Structure 1
Amino acid sequence: MNTALLAKQALIEQNQALLARFQAKAPIVELVLQRCQFVDSLVKHVWAQLGLNRFDIALIAVGGYGRGELHPHSDIDLLFLYDNSLCADAENALSQFIAFLWDANLEIGHSVRTLEDTLSLGRIDVTIATNLLEARFLTGTESLFDRLYDAIRQGDFWTSSDFFIAKRDEQNARHARASAFDLEPNIKSCPGGLRDIQTIAWVAMRHFGAARLEELVQYDFLEPAELEELLECQSFLWTLRFALHMTAGRDENRLLFDVQRQVAELMGYQDATQLAVEQMMKRYYRTVRRVMELNEMLLQLFKRATLGQTKALEIQSIDKHYQRRGTFIEALSDDVFDSSEEIIRLFLLVAKNSNIKSIYAPTLRSLRRARRAQTQALQENPLCRQAFMEILRHPRGIVALSLMHKHGVLSAYLPAWRNIEGQMQFDLFHAYTVDEHTHRLLLNIERFSQAEQKEEFPLGSVLINQLPKKGLLVLGAIFHDIAKGRGGIIVSWAALMPSPFVNSMA
């Protein structure tokens, strides 16, 4: 048997060993590191066997491989870096090296470049620049790697502000192509997926020179609890991706219906009061929502740090607790949400101010703390119910409800809503989870109310404005699918609400 086939068999056996450890609940961080270390040892061995050390070339891992994170069938991204030119013998040896790795069944992505070309391309292509930031020396001429490492950390390579803008725009474009709540999500590129966590790390790496997310705590950009949450989310997504690779037998990131049940079983979920696949997918959707919120907050903070106040945001007082800063609502103190009714009143103020689109990052951080600290549903507080009623009655109430849903406050208010968050729908009529389907229904009701939609929805636009109590329609929309969170049992929405709330809508 030739050596490439022996290497292929060794990789298969190593994956089998990793699978056994995975099923024994070994930490996923250890598994992706172990896979990377095994591939490292293989490529270094082949490099030496082919005599490539006699040439002035550096073998460098980039991308996910550069980060030291490999899943069972992840691509192996390599940069062959040299100084001026390659002789024919060196080119031939590199060809043999690449062919060997392909024959061993490794998915190789590679580039062969001079140091000058590498830096030139990196300056004009943010994807190449990002890969270079994660570069890790493997073997060969280390002095070449050192020169690359030093050059890409100079201010003229990519400034923090330019890099931030490029990665933010890249993320926005990626988010525009897919929903986080597709029933067959791409766990790597969908909003809230692994790319969103990596984007935070990339921006931090460029701005601070940070090599790990943990370092953001030292720079006061991440609180310890936020770091723990982010790492918990990453661990779950890594576990899901590992199981998906093992099930599909290839580098697959789409969680298709065909494999969802096998992936769920491999992760240890079992059918009980809820199907195993439903349990897994509910955990997935709740995880990506947490990642999306952390990503939004941290990128907003990075924007302030990298771009500064190049254009001062207009500040307008709202009341003694809040002000509008540009298109953000901002709390004037960190402890404003110690009074739980302020959690709901924040969104009422959003409804009342059409210039407000989002929550200012420091305020969002305070809101997240307060949301976690709640020991009972917010609907049990009469002042919260009063503010929620005002939101339902307000012409822009759906705008506020949408933001409440985005930041987990709707589920903190309504326990019944929490039950449908991330709930799968196995039929031909729904493309989203139950909560996202309901959320989009609310947004469509809002569209009927907009003057510019009269041509597209002439009858709907007339009828919506003739309703004596639009809040009842909104409430009906919120609860129209709520029974799916109770196993499909038909229940009255009134039975799920406190009686003072129901009576006030009558």
Structure 2
Amino acid sequence: MPYLSPVSLSEEQLTISELKQQLEQFAQYQKDEFLSHHPVADLVIGRAEYMDLLLNRLWRHFGFEQIAEMSLVAVGGYGRGELHPLSDIDILVVSSHKLPDDIAAKISEFITFLWDLRLEVGHAVRTVSECGDIGREDLTVATNLQEARLLSGSEETFHRLKLVIHSESFWPSETFYRAKIQEQRERHARYHDTTYNLEPDIKSTPGGLRDIHTLGWVARRHFGAKTLYEMSTFGFLTDAEFRELVECQDFLWRVRFALHLELKRYDNRLTFAHQAQVAERLGFTGEHNRPIEMMMKEFYRTLRRVAELNKMLLKLFDQAILNNGEECEPEIIDDDFQRRGNLIEARKPALFQARPETILDMFLHIANDSSIEGVSPPTMRQLRTARRRLNKFLHTIPAAREKFMELTRHPNALHKAFSLMHKLGGAGGLSAAMESNCRPDAVRSVPRLYR
């Protein structure tokens, strides 16, 4: 191994110059491993584990293990055990009671030492009571505390902190859910509610890593699921959805890791200035702008998949947490569909797989009934499953062609049915697959966005 584990460092080696050298060697090791196509998840988790060891070693070096009722806690993304090369290392020093001035001064020395190592450390020093008070008032603090993980120090103090965080009075599940949904809406609005930004933010753009994090935060707060894997084992994600989210996260992590290797300071924007280098780091090849085009095509495809999963799963959480729509009695539309409130839903569990043309029937019902505002979460999940399992193009099914032509002629198709079809990720696959078999005048009636 080309670097030393922090655990093996002697007291004499715990100097700024020596530790800087060790950190540089570790960073170079991770860079070499990334360029050798080592799994990025191992590198992201491995960097967090390395920082765990370093902080623990320095905690002992400063003599903090001798101080009762004080804990060093990782929070935020670091609390999840994830660190990219330029990620902030968010830590919390928490105590049962207010610390004496001499200990507070020693903690300041500890934080300054970390800054001198050029580590991007975000920190707070609070009592358990202060964590509860501030967390109740600040959603960001509350979210970071949800992912608190003990690094060193008093287990009893950390246990008291967890009791505060998990108490119903801290952030009731319904309140937390509504707040995170509003937070996501505002974040998406800053990026014009589209995944197709020319210089997208890997973390915050719609369909980015934050959309995956939001699913995790809501599931953790309401269901107690700490990871995507636990969400799948508890039944909140299907196995296919779990695998898809992991696959999408892995690609976004690789893009972010490659970007951080190019930057001097923390940023998550995939700007024009860095797209060529990032594409090269990821192994995309070709002449001129071909590597960038290939990378961005895969990037936008990934964002769209995450955004689609995020929308569907949050709708499912909406029903589970707020019981929205559960009390409504279904209103039968026909043998295949019914309305529940303002949502349409399939009456059979595998309707779209058994008869794919009924996908078009659903959108015809939406166009016909102005009071239908969307698709029920279980039906959204069924639609996603059917789209991925279709073994032929819809335009090869005569009944589907007829229904599609009927839909293009419908006066409410453009602003209602096709708009919703696009949001559900179905428009591109449905309309493009049929274009060769439709009359030219009908095809022209479908906006370019849906072609």
Same fold (TM over 0.5): yes
Q: 1:36 to 1:472 in 2, by over 3 A?
A: closer
Residue in structure 2 matched with residue 121 of structure 1 by the alignment: 134
How far did residue 472 of structure 1 move?
5.7
**Deviations, residues 303-348 of structure 1 (Å, cap 9, x unaligned):** 1111125884474332221122223211111121111111222112
Contact 2:262 2:277 (8 Å CA) reproduced:
yes
Q: How does 1:254-403 map to 2 (within 5 A)?
A: 254-271=269-286, 275-309=290-324, 312-313=327-328, 315-337=330-352, 338-398=354-414, 399-403=416-420
Misfit runs of 4+, over 6 Å: none
Distance in 1 (alpha carbons) for counterparts of 2:325 and 2:169? 20
Q: 1:416 to 1:307 in 2, by over 3 A?
A: closer
Distance in 1 (alpha carbons) for counterparts of 2:44 and 2:447? 47
How far did residue 249 of structure 1 move?
3.0
Distance in 1 (alpha carbons) for counterparts of 2:275 and 2:400? 39
Q: 1:71 to 1:204 in 2, by over 3 A?
A: same
Confirm or deny that 1:196 pairs with 2:211.
Answer: yes
| Matched AA of 1:347 | F
Distance in 1 (alpha carbons) for counterparts of 2:151 and 2:382? 44
Residue in structure 1 matched with residue 162 of structure 2 by the alignment: 149
What CA RMSD, in Å, does the superposition of the two structures yield over aligned residues?
A: 2.2
**Identical residues among aligned pairs (%):** 45
Contact 2:394 2:433 (8 Å CA) reproduced:
no
Residue in structure 1 matched with residue 77 of structure 2 by the alignment: 64
Contact 2:225 2:234 (8 Å CA) reproduced:
no
Distance in 2 (alpha carbons) for counterparts of 1:230 and 1:170? 21
Residue in structure 1 matched with residue 9 of structure 2 by the alignment: none
Choose the corresponding residue for 1:243, options 234, 238, 258: 258
Contact 2:395 2:433 (8 Å CA) reproduced:
no
What 5-or-longer segments of structure 2 have no aligned partner? Answer: 1-12
Contact 2:259 2:278 (8 Å CA) reproduced:
yes
Choose the corresponding residue for 2:106, options 93, 98, 115: 93
Choose the corresponding residue for 2:64, options 52, 60, 75: 52
Distance in 2 (alpha carbons) for counterparts of 1:9 and 1:97? 19
Once structures 1 and 2 are overlaid, which stretch shifts more, 238-247 or 469-478?
Answer: 469-478
How far did residue 4 of structure 1 move?
1.8
**Deviations, residues 410-453 of structure 1 (Å, cap 9, x unaligned):** 232245799xxxxxxxxxxxxxxxxxxxxxxxxxxxxxxxxxxx
Q: 1:271 to 1:415 in 2, by over 3 A?
A: farther
**Deviations, residues 65-112 of structure 1 (Å, cap 9, x unaligned):** 000000011001011111222222211211111111111111111111
Distance in 2 (alpha carbons) for counterparts of 1:205 and 1:32? 21
Q: TM-score, normalised by structure 1?
A: 0.81
| Matched AA of 2:309 | L
Distance in 2 (alpha carbons) for counterparts of 1:20 and 1:211? 31
Distance in 2 (alpha carbons) for counterparts of 1:82 and 1:302? 35
Contact 2:276 2:292 (8 Å CA) reproduced:
yes
Q: How does 1:194-233 map to 2 (within 5 A)?
A: 194-233=209-248
Confirm or deny that 1:407 pairs with 2:424.
Answer: yes
Distance in 2 (alpha carbons) for counterparts of 1:289 and 1:44? 40
Q: TM-score, normalised by structure 2?
A: 0.90
Distance in 2 (alpha carbons) for counterparts of 1:357 and 1:167? 22
Once structures 1 and 2 are overlaid, which stretch shifts more, 251-260 or 121-130?
Answer: 121-130
DSSP-derived class of the 2:339 partner: strand
Distance in 1 (alpha carbons) for counterparts of 2:448 and 2:158? 59
| Matched AA of 1:111 | A
Distance in 1 (alpha carbons) for counterparts of 2:393 and 2:129? 60
| Matched AA of 1:244 | L
Total equivalences in the alignment: 430
DSSP-derived class of the 1:138 partner: strand
DSSP-derived class of the 1:289 partner: helix
Q: 1:417 to 1:472 in 2, by over 3 A?
A: closer
Residue in structure 2 matched with residue 449 of structure 1 by the alignment: none
Distance in 1 (alpha carbons) for counterparts of 2:379 and 2:393? 21
Residue in structure 2 matched with residue 176 of structure 1 by the alignment: 189
Distance in 1 (alpha carbons) for counterparts of 2:226 and 2:168? 17
Once structures 1 and 2 are overlaid, which stretch shifts more, 334-343 or 68-77?
Answer: 334-343
Residue in structure 2 matched with residue 497 of structure 1 by the alignment: none
**Deviations, residues 206-263 of structure 1 (Å, cap 9, x unaligned):** 1121111111222221111110011111111111111111112332111101101100
How far did residue 286 of structure 1 move?
0.8
DSSP-derived class of the 1:210 partner: coil
Q: 1:375 to 1:472 in 2, by over 3 A?
A: closer
What 5-or-longer segments of structure 1 have no aligned partner? Answer: 419-468, 483-506
| Matched AA of 2:426 | V
Choose the corresponding residue for 1:474, options 442, 445, 451: 445
| Matched AA of 1:172 | R
Distance in 1 (alpha carbons) for counterparts of 2:165 and 2:17? 38
| Matched AA of 2:295 | M
How far did residue 406 of structure 1 move?
2.5
Once structures 1 and 2 are overlaid, which stretch shifts more, 34-43 or 82-91?
Answer: 82-91
Choose the corresponding residue for 1:105, options 108, 111, 118: 118
| Matched AA of 1:392 | T
Distance in 2 (alpha carbons) for counterparts of 1:99 and 1:166? 35
DSSP-derived class of the 1:329 partner: strand
**Deviations, residues 132-167 of structure 1 (Å, cap 9, x unaligned):** 110000112221111111221222222221111111
Residue in structure 2 matched with residue 37 of structure 1 by the alignment: 49
